[in-house]
Amino acid sequence: MDFRQQSVALDALDSLACDALLVIVAGDKAPGGLDSATQRALDDAVAHGEFEFKRGKTVYLHRPQGLKAARLVFAACGAATPKSVKAAFASGLGALKGGGSKHVAVALAGVTDVGGAHAEALVAAASDASYVYRHTKPSAPAAGALAKVTLLSDKAAAKAVTQGLARGNAIAAGVTLARELGNRPGNHCTPRYLGEQAKKLGREFGLKVEVMDRKAIEKLGMGSFLAVAQGSAEPPRFIVAQYHGAPKTQAPVVLVGKGITFDTGGISIKPSAEMDEMKFDMGGAASVLGTLRAVAELKPKLNLVVLVPTTENMPGGRAIKPGDVVTSLSGQTIEILNTDAEGRLILCDALTYAERFKPACVVDVATLTGACVIALGHHHSGLFSADDKLAGDLLAASAAALDPCWRMPLDEEYEEALKSNFADMGNVGGRAGGAITAAMFLRKFTAKYRWAHLDIAGTAWKSGTAKGATGRPVPLLTHFVLSQAA
């Protein structure tokens, strides 16, 4: 989709040639400064009870008198924040759905400081509205007609808006990649497929990408990762992808993504209900690869390393059993008390591997625990870090990206639950505080660098009639990485 900025004043909207003019109205009353034809149409819609200045309200007018635009939509956003503008734009696009509009021009009335954040929000909403999964569904509906969105602003805001559109475009492409990877079924999106997609990114953006097979992983000594992989006929892969936008002497940001392409739970098998959704258990891997794509397009002046341990978690004659003890890459031993707590077993070896890059910081991303869903629902991702500055940067990035997370505790008392009589640690504690004890387990492998953990079990996908990957937290991660360059 083509996103552009155009300098057009609100009092000249009637002269704008486009298929549809979408006017997003902020505040609780009619804004001033509109051209007479647009103002007349708005006043008439309000007078006849067809439109209210309440968030979520829209009205569609066909062939409005006095305007060159063939269609006119008013959408109320309430507050003038990027979040509210994004929701109003999505509602406005919904009013135009199926109408054949190829070019939509968007004006923000009552928004005094139109900027890059508003522009980025519009791109996100348009990308989300236009996404349709097709890979294994030939009967999916045809793509909509919308091909171009123009955001109208004054000349003073043109540069910021243009930058916001470019940033939004790159993030949207990363989100789409993450959604495509997540939505593919487990027999299509295998560890080998993820490795192929990483190599494809490398070719497209000139990245250094290495995809290690089982023998290479064994040579490294990743005993915890391999323990999970041994139950599956699908071979594991360990993906190492690097973007270099700064001198090699500059310490990189490292992102680690959990890549369980299908999770049965192993011997500790899951209930059959909704097990199909365990194809989404590689949401962390999908999000860090999507972030890598966005960063590679934006070309910030920093270094970024993306690590993805990827395998299936299957039951079978060779699968790990509850009570087995394995040795991680760090040399620490782990008693596997529950084979369905496998994500932390593959992540811990990747976190140890991250040490060799002497990172500025490491953030791991994983659909790790159902406990996090119980704690935070499906709106906030869970954030865990003992580093206040790093946690603050991630929280700020989540706010800027409209991709919220919430900081959770990491008090040392929670570590007691991981004690084992037969190994350095168990891989699970009790049921209480399960998301926290999972983070405490990962923390044991991060002593040599600044570290944070994002539990995205509640945000990486949706269930029900809207079932599908969300692409989160690509926006959060991209904003975070860009902030480290700044």
Q: What is the CATH classification number for the domain harbouring 306?
A: 3.40.630.10
pLDDT average, residue stretch 318-339: 98
Say what the alpha-carbon torsion angle 7, 12, 15, 16 is, to the nearest 10 degrees. 40
Nearest to 166, CA basis, from 395, 482, 486: 482
417 CB-near residues (< 8 Å, 6+ apart): 429, 430, 433, 437, 440
Instruction: Give me the pLDDT at residue 264, please.
Output: 98
Determine the structural domain holding residue 263 and report its residue range: 173-485
Strands 303-313 and 237-244 come out as antiparallel
Please check whether residues 106 and 239 belong to one and the same domain: no
Please check whether residues 408 and 470 belong to one and the same domain: yes
Q: Which of 127, 146, 165 is the last residue of a domain?
A: 146
Instruction: Give me the pLDDT at residue 5, please.
Output: 94
Distance CA 194, CA 204 (A): 15
Instruction: Give me the pLDDT at residue 144, please.
Output: 80
Nearest to 112, CA basis, from 10, 6, 7: 10
Query: For residue 163, is it within any domain?
Result: no
pLDDT band with cut points at 50, 70 and 90 for residue 98: confident
Please check whether residues 193 and 120 belong to one and the same domain: no
Query: For residue 310, is it within any domain?
Result: yes
Please check whether residues 116 and 243 belong to one and the same domain: no
Please check whether residues 250 and 110 belong to one and the same domain: no
pLDDT band with cut points at 50, 70 and 90 for residue 230: very high
Please check whether residues 86 and 232 belong to one and the same domain: no
CATH number of the CATH domain containing 106: 3.40.220.10
Beta strands in 344-465, from DSSP E residues, in sequence order: 361-366, 381-384, 405-407, 425-426, 451-455, 461-462
Instruction: Give me the pLDDT at residue 79, please.
Output: 93
pLDDT average, residue stretch 260-267: 98
pLDDT tens digits, one per residue of 352-391: 999 999 999 999 999 999 999 999 999 999 999 999 999 9
Give yes or no for residue 77 having a pLDDT over 80.
Answer: yes
Q: Which of 130, 146, 162 is the last residue of a domain?
A: 146
Distance CA 277, CA 275 (A): 5
Nearest to 6, CA basis, from 146, 111, 153: 153
Instruction: Give me the pLDDT at residue 97, please.
Output: 85
Please check whether residues 84 and 226 belong to one and the same domain: no
Query: For residue 181, is it within any domain?
Result: yes
Give yes or no for residue 486 having a pLDDT over 80.
Answer: no
Distance CA 268, CA 314 (A): 10
Please check whether residues 98 and 202 belong to one and the same domain: no
Does residue 270 carry a catalytic annotation? yes
Query: For residue 165, is it within any domain?
Result: no
135 CB-near residues (< 8 Å, 6+ apart): 180, 183, 184, 188
Distance CA 163, CA 4 (A): 10
**Total domains, the chain:** 2
Query: For residue 156, is it within any domain?
Result: no
Say what the alpha-carbon torsion angle 436, 393, 454, 295 is, to the nearest 10 degrees. -170
Determine which one of 344, 443, 444, 472 is catalytic.
344
Please check whether residues 251 and 311 belong to one and the same domain: yes
Does residue 102 carry a catalytic annotation? no
Helix, strand, coil percentages, rounded to 5, for the chain: 40, 20, 40
Burial profile 25-64: b = 16 or more Cβ within 10 angstroms, e = fewer: bbeeebbeebbebbbebbeebbeeeebebeeebbbbbeeb
Task: Specify which residues 466 forms β-bridges with.
Answer: none
Query: What are the Cα distances from residue 170, in Å, to 153, 157, 449?
Result: 21, 20, 29
Please check whether residues 8 and 130 belong to one and the same domain: yes
Task: Specify which residues 2 forms β-bridges with.
Answer: 148
SS3 of 238, please? Answer: strand
Query: For residue 168, is it within any domain?
Result: no
* Cβ proximity of 224 and 348 under 8 Å: yes
Please check whether residues 209 and 262 belong to one and the same domain: yes
Determine which one of 270, 407, 448, 450 is catalytic.
270
DSSP assignment of 369-396, as one string? -HHHHHHHTTTSEEEE-S-HHHHHHHHH
Query: For residue 365, is it within any domain?
Result: yes
pLDDT tens digits, one per residue of 325-334: 999 999 999 9
SS3 of 441, please? Answer: helix
pLDDT average, residue stretch 306-312: 98
Structure tokens at 437: 């004890």
Please check whether residues 139 and 191 belong to one and the same domain: no
Distance CA 475, CA 167 (A): 10
Query: For residue 122, is it within any domain?
Result: yes
Which contacts of 39-47 are long-range, i.e. CB under 8 A and separated by 24 or more positions? Answer: 40/65, 40/66, 41/65, 41/66, 41/67, 41/72, 41/74, 42/74, 45/74
pLDDT tens digits, one per residue of 425-453: 999 999 999 999 999 999 999 999 999 99
* Cβ proximity of 255 and 306 under 8 Å: yes
Give yes or no for residue 78 having a pLDDT over 90.
Answer: yes
